[in-house]
Structure 1
Amino acid sequence: MAAPAPSLPPDDADPTFAELLAGRPDLAAHAQDGLTMEDVPLARIAAEIGTPTWVYSAATLRRRYRAMQAALSEAALDCEIHFAVKANPNLAVLRTLAREGAGADIVSEGELRTALAAGIAPHHVVFSGVGKTMRELRFAIGQGVGQINAESVEEIAMISAAATELGRTVDVAIRVNPDVDPLTHAKITTGKSENKFGVAMADAPALYARMAATPGIRPAGIATHIGSQITAGMGAYAAAYRALADLVRALRAQGLPVDRVDCGGGLGIPYRNEPAPSPAALAGAIRTTLGNLGVRLMMEPGRWIAGPAGVLLASVVLSKRNGARRFVILDAAMNDLVRPAMYEAWHGIVPVSPTDYVAPVSSCDVVGPVCETGDTFARNRGLPTLEPGSLVAFLDAGAYGAAMSSTYNARPLAAEVLVDGARFGVVRERQTPEALLAGQRLPDWYAA
């Protein structure tokens, strides 16, 4: 039985706890167990594992992957899904998606090794990224990755050198920069002319022709990625894909083979009350622009699949007042969840206790213990009075949460847990204080 929700705020206020949970079907507030993920009370995880802890829902990962897949199928698109490993590189998360049929989009040797360890076949891996090293290229080509997305003439030369050195021929797509504005945060736009990614559309035909004559390289097609957390509709996607379609036709008119188009990722999620673009809308934009070209399509979702699948579970250390301002200080910090400090990002914060969930709320600032004012998760957020030890959950923390965490202030990395129905298990141990020092050493001349 669900606990009653706090009263509704004015229309321009933050969503209520109940409104936040309504859009997240694998989270629920129960009158006795409090906030649960699938069939597991989050308080139980906190009691057994401690806090801060990342908690992921296997059911949400599966449901959202299948929803993306269904949207593509309903649009009659033959489109491969390569999960963006940068969003969440946890082995259990990747294995869950691999069992659904997902491939991997990777941007480093480390991500490739992680994807392979999770059971993703190398031919189902696309290697993206603007700064691949020769070491990384040799390793990726040696493993037999399915495709490398090249971002410059210089990188094409590097790929050729690595491939010929290994006696291999590798499928390469050129990543083009369509110079479109996805109307997202400036730090996560990737398809504008001033961004570091890809090659200019005007330079692509000559570069593609050059690639076709380069040893060790099989020209596979073109790729793009215009940004992350895109919620402003399909206009930017459609503009980018129309430019790709024109490029495909121009290349084919020159007698050059173009077999694939990698459509990128970036579909946003509603952290607060933003519009929620659907996979069906994205699939429609792909179909109307690229669907009649007879190319093999690919896409690289990350946040849309993994973001709503995770929460960051934290405990209250203490509450304090500075004058009229109330501060709730948590044991989680910006080294755990950096998105609010880096992107001014908004995350729902929901009390775990059933009594806290229905208690009256008042305005407070939610902060961590790191010695920076930037270690602030939320300002003027409505929360009940929270005693030391009270639990809260940061919603939509499954993407770019643990993946971007650090040990700043010598704070150990948090544990990670996967929930699957009524079961849960630790999928990354909490870092120990001893592990923080592992690998450090004093120089020999300090020995005396």
Structure 2
Amino acid sequence: ITGFVGGITSSISGILHSWLTIPGLGFSGIPGRAFENLQYGAYNFGLRPFNILALAGACIYFLNTIFISRLREEGAAPTMHVVRVLLENNPLRSVYHAQMLSAPLTETVRMELLSRARGRLLEDELVRDLFSCSSRVREGAMRNIMNASRNMEPTLGDALVKLLEMPALGMRVETARTLGAARYKPALPTLVTLFDSEDPDLAAASIYAAGLIADPAVIPDLHRILHDESFHIEKAWAAEALSRLGDHSEARTVFSAFPANTDPVLQTQCLVSICRCMFDGQKVYKIFDDEMRNPGTATIMLCDSIAVRWQGLDLDTMVTLIDKGSFREAATMAITPELEFCLPFMRDEDTVSEDIIKAQFADDGSFANKMLEDTDYVATSLWLQLRLWTFLGYMAEDNERFVLLAVLFLCDTLGRRLDPGQPRIKKEVSPGADTV
């Protein structure tokens, strides 16, 4: 746009210059006298036609810059950011940086170059710097690779895999995460061997990287971690990785990581993983993020959606319970209609909702109704909701809020799945009427 405006301006600048020299700009009468007075004022101020043109061009350029900086396509990066990236990654800069890095430099200068160098021409120099005698240079090279990891070349990837096998350099955690971000599949066997590392940070980073690579071949190793009681911190990372690879059939296995963790952040991470198994998409994280930043926002939205589908659910009552911190009672209101709809259950008039949920459990904690152990989506969703319900009332309030959020999300997702075209509203049947 700037070039287009500049081209038009330069093509007519001679005409505009001549027009500005005409007294009164060629107008007669009152407008002519007004323009003539303005011209005299500009001349007295030291402005000539050329200066006026230059000033007008500068104003147009400035306004265009503001306009371009605010351009933004839906889901895309700001235009000025794109222009800046293009300028930073142009071939001439890559050649210059590659040439500079190939020469002997001081540690400070090399670090500065590594912080802004981009392009595939740097590959050989980055490989050398990964094994530099300076820890600062090694760190700078790793940071450079991490910033452009999605475009990793095989030579660079193989060098990082080699670095994974060198614990003395102290860079294996960053290396594992970089390989995962690059989706570098040849690194998977080495990453799997590090699942059993005595360093929990390295084990977690390796599991995280394997989840990003998203190769189904790693699923058996993730199952092993989730079923092994000797792993604690690693379970949350294995659950997250498995949720990226599996579907609802993996949800019960992913759930096993939730009670194994006491850290509130990892507990919430496990809840996100459970919900991701039941609903594949970015919506899961967004809902939890909304609730974290604006407590109550996502919870009330889900309550509203659930109340539309089930007759007898009062949204105001659910909101009041949530505001009071009665999360168990709110979850009970959401789960009970689904249980009555999906499972064969005869409810007496004096049976309260919580008794309906408690009736699903046997004395040993297993489910009395064996239908809940089926592997279909509906049984899995109800299984998860009931298991999460048992944790409500026994955790810190902040943690319970996210457990409730997971229950409501599972309720809402199941309600939509039962019949996407029509809300599942239970209608009262008059005595003696035919039922379908």
Give the TM-score category using the shorter length.
Answer: under 0.3
**What TM-score, normalized to structure 1?**
0.24
Larger helix fraction of residues: 2
Larger strand fraction of residues: 1
Larger-Rg structure: 2
